[in-house]
Amino acid sequence: MKSISKSASNDVWSASLNRKAHPVLKKEFGSNKSWQPDAYKINTDRIRNKEPVGENWLWGRGAASLVHFGYLTEAELEPHRQAYLDAITMYGDSQKIHDDLVKRYKDAMDILKN
């Protein structure tokens, strides 16, 4: 008797290879084995398109890297940071949370500059 997990995984794999989009994906990604996603570009585009991003991309090393390497400016980050603060400050002392996040960002910038 065939195990359910093996049967299901084979069927899912076969279905993914046989779906209509497969040749398109193969053309786009199949020929370029060295393709890697660019997290900086992806998250820069998300921020510019007002899409959600993780906290790290607003206040952590990700944010520091985006500014340091010229992907974004502080001004471009500010509306997203403010929206994030508005959302989380209902759970505690807003000034303390803000100060902690700013310190985290400045520490990340210091690491990148040195």
How far apart, in Å, are the Cα atoms of 41 and each of 7, 10, 62, 109?
A: 39, 35, 11, 19
Main-chain dihedrals φ then ψ at residue 99, nearest 5 degrees: -60, -40
pLDDT of residue 81: 93
Tens digit of each residue's pLDDT, the chain (114 residues): 556 555 555 566 566 656 665 555 555 555 566 777 899 999 999 999 999 999 999 999 999 999 999 999 999 999 999 999 888 887 778 888 889 999 999 999 999 988
Determine the pLDDT at residue 93.
82
Residue 105 CA to residue 91 CA, distance in Å, equals: 21
pTM over 0.85: no
Amino acid at 67: V
